[in-house]
Structure 1
Amino acid sequence: MITFAVYLLAMVSVGVLVYQETRTYHDFALGGRRLRAPVAALSAQASDMSGWLMLGLPGAVYAAGVGATWIAVGLAAGTYLNWRFVAPRLRTYTERAGDAVTLSAYLEERFEDRTRLIRIVSAAVIVVFFTLYVAGGLVAGGLLFDEIFEVGYEFALTVAAVVIVVYTLLGGFLAVSVTDAVQGTMMFLALLVLPVLGIGALGGFGALGDDLAGKSPELLDMGAQASFADGRWTDGGSLGLIAVISLLAWGLGYFGQPHVLARFMAIRSAEDIPLARRIGVGWVVVTLTGASLVGLLGIALLDEPLANPETVFIGLSVDLLNPWVASLLLAAVLAAIKSTADSQLLVSSTALTEDFYRAFLNRSASDTVLLLVGRITVVTVAVVAYGIALDGGAVLDIVAYAWAGFGAAFGPVIVLSLYWPRMSAAGAMAGMVAGALTVVLWEDIDPLLGPFESGIYEMVPGVIAATLAALVFGRFVGRPPLRTWSGPGGDRMRRGRGALHA
């Protein structure tokens, strides 16, 4: 309790300190575009992974074995591709698109949409899916506090929500980014230390493999999955191609995550991106490996099977370590939860403030008014997410749904906006709507396919539908933008043939 109290006070203190540096709405929304490479990288990846990294992924591996790690493979690949191909151009183009501080504002300017429909639809998608995403983070926070301190889920949920709101409210983007960088470091160390200690306690990787094989051979098979029920692991059957594709498809979501893309927009310069990419990708590979090992080590080391697999990191920390050290590692779980929820709160607040209030209600609003509205909307989104979180739910399920929503709605449109000069406003609109609706309706659509019902993760059909819609409408409906866009390194994206010129 002492460790958690000190940690929570430290995060709130960051918000108080950065409050003095948050003088304008641009500071509040995007930190004045002055993030250095290490802060941008660590805060991007920490906000990306959320409590899912410390609870959901270890829990999935604990229940199903190494077959669940296909998710990690997809995420590592998606992280690299996002930093390599999206980050440099997005940093440059958003600044030249009227110094846009939101994806909605960038897309409106990029496609010269004077109807403002792109801004309305994209901002609405952000607010809806992020409210669900924040709720998932609050559920994870409530689960953590209740599991450790046994204070009751509702009280635990309230504490987690209040702390996140306070420092986001005070410091805005800069406070969120700095705290996320600190929290990203904590997550990295926790997922490095706990697996090392666990392997040492067990006697090496050979002993781990023997123990897992003894419980169920499927636990060690990338092409199969175990079934966990009533405290036992049994053969869950082959994963199959569809299941593997669904797990790998998590990597597709990166191209459309507003809270990750915001770090690309806020980094000091496109020249800082190669260093940030190396830091970010390295962080992801180490933490995903560590989280997967925690799930496997929980099977081998915990005396009693867990009622809730998503508590395996907590159980292993408490079993292996003394309370002081364990509390430091468990604080990293809270760091993982808060580092995502705060970013999502801020992006939702910015969308409501910039893309609704400023764009349609008060175009001449002063910085003072925008800051006030931004802070009010932080509280509003948090209250709605808190209400949703009271019903509970599995962290992985909530995150998977919101992740798919953003990946399908924005991923194809963002990539095409950066690389296809003939893309029109109609294509952008069609892509966003098709992607979002497919994700929302896929659970009802898939059973209607009868013998062709796939059970595939909704990200896959969502991305396919969005890409096809964007390509078809972008090519045949509406005109391409007239403006020439200059990208990193002096290349220019022009309308018509010869898309990219050095």
Structure 2
Amino acid sequence: MEYRTVTNIVVLVCYLLLMVAFAAWLGKRAKIKTGTDFVLAGQSLPAWVLAGTMLTTFVGSGSIIGGASFVFQNGPLPGIFFFLGTLLGALTLGFLAQKIRRKSFHTVPQLLRTRFGRNTGTIGTIIVLIAFMGIAATQFTGAGYIFSLITPLSQTQGAIVAVLLITFLALVGGLKSVAWTDFLSAIVIILGLVVALGYVFVQDLGGFGTYVDRLDPALSTITGPLTPLQILGYFLPLFLLCLGDQNMHQRLSAAKSPRTAQRAAFLFFLGGLMMIIPIILLASSATIVNPDSAPDMAVLGLAAGGFTPELVGAVILVTALALIVTTGSSYLLTCSGNIVYDLIFRDRARRDASAPGSQVLTARLAVIVIAICAYVLVQFFPTLLDLQMYAYTMYGAAVTPAVLAALFWKRVSAAGATASMLTGGVVTVLWELFGEGINSVVVAFPVAVIALVAVSLATRPAPVLEDSTAVQRETAAV
């Protein structure tokens, strides 16, 4: 299949130039004086921008490549269960958003450290960095794949270009730049998916009825070729990651107010529907119009001549790239927050004594270091879907239970949170190495929750969090 057409290259270059120029312009306008300005955009973002950045952060290469691969192999109904984790996670965040905004921590480990103490926060920092570097790495791989399709670059060379582009977007203006470029990309992505879906259904399939009639009966059942327990193993990682994702918590903390944060979360849910439904339908349509496609090319393969016109094909490819780039820049940025607030300037005294500009410089250097580490990490996983499930589970099973308990359970103890994170992380690694049949989250998450509850009930509760936050204290100090 031919993807290296003039139209594809022109549309790709136009998108890249638009993103770089827009980010550079925002970077000049952004008044970045403190770490809060860099990591939380000065807590100034409106609901619709927050919704756009939450959406494009969470729906990345794991959806357009990994998720599409899952749908192609298992069918649209199992695909709904796969993506339902994102949608239910977004909906649940809507009900938790106001409290998350009132607490307003720069990072998840900072929240854990404030509630449970330094040791628990340190463990959280290690797990978050390992998981998030894995997620960032999937974006480099996915973007490199697309660059290699459209240009003469190899996948490795394309991944290096992706690292440079994604790192630039994260560096130039912090969250304010990332959020607004994400919002612009969200519009491009939704329009691109709708256009592609409309053409494939009308021109290639002849309507929804034909799609239903021609779909392989083996892919038309509720769970496809998978067992319910296997389906659960794909649902839980996305659901748990969404609830505890540091990116989501940071964006809700960057809202102008608690009510703004809540509106953004519900808009995130609606935007998720507008992105996920087309991805499921396009990937399952590929089993009909392009059954010989490689699974991870289910959606991208429709960009080839014979399935869509050149311009529509170019839109599909650029839409996929936009999903990947926005997610990658967000995860690099959030990891830099861990370096600044959980390692270098962990102690309040050191943070208050440092010049605000030194926090910003450290955050930018951290983006570069994390990008390099993520690129190295990706070399150790055979497929993008494998890396995706590992990273999601490592965070969802090891961190999310402790995060939710810190915010909403008064009886939780520091020992319980620590036990939950350690058992969740260890079981995830051991199952990835030696387990088989189901994804590690099905085993790791229940073990982490049992450890959290059992140890907390047997030990002294941690002090309850107050609404006076680390962000407010930093702002007052400056």
**How does the TM-score come out when normalised to structure 1?**
0.85
Please state how far the C-alpha of 1:445 moved relative to its aligned partner.
5.7
Write the distance in 1 (CA, Å) between the matches of 2:189 and 2:340: 31
The one-letter code matched in structure 2 to 1:473 is: V
* 2:343 matches 1:338: no
Identical residues among aligned pairs (%): 25
Structure 1 gap segments, 5+ residues each: 95-99, 226-238, 448-454, 488-502
Q: Tell me which residue corresponds to 1:318.
A: 304
Please state how far the C-alpha of 1:43 moved relative to its aligned partner.
0.7
Please state how far the C-alpha of 1:19 moved relative to its aligned partner.
2.2
The one-letter code matched in structure 1 to 2:198 is: V
Please state how far the C-alpha of 1:243 moved relative to its aligned partner.
1.7
Write the distance in 1 (CA, Å) between the matches of 2:467 and 2:373: 39
Equivalent of residue 452 in structure 2, options 464, 470, 480: 470
The 5 A counterparts of 1:425-464 are 425-444=414-433, 446=435, 455-464=437-446
Equivalent of residue 82 in structure 2, options 40, 63, 71: 71
CA contact (8 A) 1:404 1:459 kept: yes
Q: Tell me which residue corresponds to 1:60.
A: 70
* 2:198 matches 1:209: no
Q: Tell me which residue corresponds to 2:202.
A: 200
CA contact (8 A) 2:378 2:387 kept: no
Write the distance in 1 (CA, Å) between the matches of 2:180 and 2:432: 38
Please state how far the C-alpha of 1:390 moved relative to its aligned partner.
4.8
* 2:90 matches 1:82: no
Equivalent of residue 46 in structure 2, options 24, 36, 40: 36
The 5 A counterparts of 1:345-494 are 345-359=332-346, 362-363=350-351, 364-390=353-379, 393-444=382-433, 446=435, 455-481=437-463
CA contact (8 A) 1:256 1:408 kept: no
The 5 A counterparts of 1:160-199 are 160-199=162-201
Write the distance in 2 (CA, Å) between the matches of 1:482 and 1:163: 42
Write the distance in 2 (CA, Å) between the matches of 1:325 and 1:199: 13
CA contact (8 A) 2:381 2:387 kept: no
Equivalences, count: 453
Q: Tell me which residue corresponds to 2:22.
A: 14
Q: Tell me which residue corresponds to 1:124.
A: 126
> Structure 1, residues 182-204: CA drift from partner, whole Å, max 9, x if none?
22222222222212211111111
Q: Tell me which residue corresponds to 1:254.
A: 242
- Secondary structure of residue in 2 paired with 1:224: coil
Write the distance in 2 (CA, Å) between the matches of 1:342 and 1:197: 31
CA contact (8 A) 1:91 1:267 kept: yes
- Which stretch of structure 1 is more off in the superposition, 73-82 or 193-202? 73-82
CA contact (8 A) 1:58 1:293 kept: no
* 2:12 matches 1:4: yes
Please state how far the C-alpha of 1:462 moved relative to its aligned partner.
2.1
**Change in 2 beyond 3 A, CA 1:419/1:68:** same
Please state how far the C-alpha of 1:388 moved relative to its aligned partner.
3.0
Write the distance in 2 (CA, Å) between the matches of 1:31 and 1:212: 46
The one-letter code matched in structure 2 to 1:433 is: L
**Change in 2 beyond 3 A, CA 1:408/1:391:** closer
**Change in 2 beyond 3 A, CA 1:480/1:386:** closer
Write the distance in 1 (CA, Å) between the matches of 2:466 and 2:250: 23
Write the distance in 2 (CA, Å) between the matches of 1:146 and 1:442: 33
Q: Tell me which residue corresponds to 1:451.
A: none
Q: Tell me which residue corresponds to 1:158.
A: 160
**Change in 2 beyond 3 A, CA 1:467/1:390:** closer
The one-letter code matched in structure 1 to 2:332 is: L
